[in-house]
Amino acid sequence: MADVRTRSIGARIREGERSFSFEFFPPKDAAGEEQLWNAIRDLEPYRPTFVSVTYGAGGSTRDTTVSITGRIAKETSLLPMAHLTCVGHTRAELEGILDAYEGAGVSNVLALRGDPEDGPRGEWTPTPGGLTYASELVELVARRRGLHVGVAAFPEGHPSAESLDRDAEVLVLKARAGAEFAVTQMFFDADDYFALVDRVRSLGVDIPILPGIMPILNLRAITRQGELIGCAVPQRVLGSFDGLTEPAEIRANGIRLATELCQELLEGGAPGLHFYTLNRSRATRDIFEALQITV
């Protein structure tokens, strides 16, 4: 176990380990906390490469992400990765949070810019004394000997990027700044993922890119979220829900679609799968069962 916990995520993926990982978010209350820990315990037997915990823009989440990832490091067999954003922080504050991650036994960080208050399409104004782009945070993290760093990637392009080519160049900048691997935004067409990988490879960079998987369990909520973050739900996917009225049927269709996407990605050479769990384990377990991945 010691070896698994001390090797970097990027190194493990590069060594050919098929990576499975699960993403959680800091809960708001005691009931949410119980749900989170149930999900973590349910998914622990699958021995994921890592589990990650998001970082919110609000002041209180800072401590929550530190405490959850620290607890995962101490109390479970899992390798935690803490997200960190530049939103509302000076460079010195970001250094302080990295100190806290290291102090809590967390050695992998997903370095993000974060969103403006009105969402990812809004105008970004850096905090005075803070950072402008995720690549600067990557540099800050990568300078520390005890930390490893990953970044975000966007199969359909970040909604504020000038073009898909420019978006790929930004990922290349982050890789050159020290990012060891990337995790993508959710998407529903495998071709978008493979096209991103091709764009990045054509720029001479071989950073491993893990596809982010979000099963569609609530079509309306996913479509709305997709509009916000620049991720389209293809007509083929929308149409597959036509005529479905029973919650169980809708759920089964969402799991089937996610399973087919996972199969296509793995067969096409994706180095693994990163699941957005929404702090629940059931959908991920159902997809694993359909993929015949057992504990």
Active site members: 23
Q: Which two tokens stand for residue 210?
A: 């893990």
Q: Which residue has the tokens 């057992």?
A: 294
Stretch that binds ligand FAD, among 93-101, 167-175, 196-204, 256-264 (CB under 6 A): 167-175
Q: Which residue has the tokens 């037997």?
A: 45
Complex with ligand FAD: residue 182 or 251, whichever CB lies closer: 182
Q: Are 22 and 214 in contact (CB under 8 A)?
A: no
CA distance 275 to 259: 12
Other Cβ atoms closer than 10 A to 221: 10
Complex with ligand FAD: residue 104 or 253, whichever CB lies closer: 104
Draw the binding track, 100-119, toward ligand FAD (x: CB under 6 A; -: no contact). Answer: ----------x-xxxx----
Draw the binding track, 34-73, toward ligand FAD (x: CB under 6 A; -: no contact). Answer: --------------------xx-x----------------
Q: Which of 134, 200, 213, 270 binds ligand FAD (CB under 6 A)?
A: 134
Tell me if 167 contacts ligand FAD by CB under 6 A. yes
Complex with ligand FAD: residue 43 or 137, whichever CB lies closer: 137
Q: Which of 76, 120, 238, 257 binds ligand FAD (CB under 6 A)?
A: 120
Q: Which of 12, 89, 148, 158 binds ligand FAD (CB under 6 A)?
A: 158
Q: Which two tokens stand for residue 263?
A: 């199969």
Q: Are 227 and 272 in contact (CB under 8 A)?
A: no
Tell me if 149 contacts ligand FAD by CB under 6 A. no
Rounded to a whole number of angstroms, the minimum distance from the CB of residue 199 to ligand FAD is 13
CA distance 98 to 141: 7
Instruction: Give the orientation angle of helix 30-43 with respect to helix 282-290, to 10 degrees.
Output: 20
Q: Which two tokens stand for residue 24?
A: 């959680």
How many residues would you count in the chain?
A: 295
Q: Which two tokens stand for residue 235?
A: 């007509």
Tell me if 160 contacts ligand FAD by CB under 6 A. yes
CA distance 230 to 226: 6
Residues that bind ligand FAD (CB under 6 A): 54-55, 57, 83, 85, 110, 112-115, 120, 133-135, 152, 158, 160-161, 167, 170, 173, 183, 185, 212
